[in-house]
Chains A and B, each alone.
Chain A
């Protein structure tokens, strides 16, 4: 069974500052990794994903994440945040050999961008 830990429940940051949202996972098999964003009163939107290949993946809205197998981490970064990035961010994993491909989510990190 896999699990996901997002170490920070809330991250306040000033506009135009860099931000890192941390995600660690646990699994006995290889995994796919995802970051989703949820804006207030909306559904889940995929930001980026790691399937294989380069460990640095770039996503939408200027976000990127780096897969670190030895540390079982997949931290999300953005060099300069905007007010509009205020949202809940969820890290998720799915097991590579699982035909059903269910996603296991972390507890979420609320990013609060202040002017």
Chain B
């Protein structure tokens, strides 16, 4: 069964450093998403991406964040200058509309900012 994969599973970085979280969506999907979950809190939408551009973003997704689909398979989330409050689990998801009606989530990357 096709699945969304994410690397790394755990990333530790120092405050102020740049991080790139990587995702490989399901191959024939066209809609891609990033969500985050701060420890003990709910899952929050960050950004959606379609046709090589951002289609929607939340207020969390400020200028420190960017997304890119550098090739035909990867979908990345970059945080330019990490803050302590960026520590969270980051989930990638993809959606194969219109053939499919649900988003498929990856296993997540736990980002720890020290």
Contact = CB atoms under 8 A, between A and B. Distances in A.
A51 interface: yes
Nearest to A107: B42
Interface residues of B, number: 24
A29 to B, nearest CB: 15
A106 B50 contact: no
B13 interface: no
A99 interface: yes
B48 A44 contact: no
Interface string A23-50: 0000000001010100000111110010
Given A43-B105, A99-B55, A104 B97 contact: no
A32 B106 CA distance: 21
Interface in B29-81: 31, 33, 35, 41-45, 48, 50, 55-56
Interface in B84-114: 91, 93, 95, 97, 101-108
Which secondary structure dominates where chain B touches chain A? strand
Interface residues of A, number: 23
B101 A51 contact: yes
A90 B43 CA distance: 8
B33 to A, nearest CB: 7
B105 A101 contact: no
B1 to A, nearest CB: 12
A46 B102 contact: yes
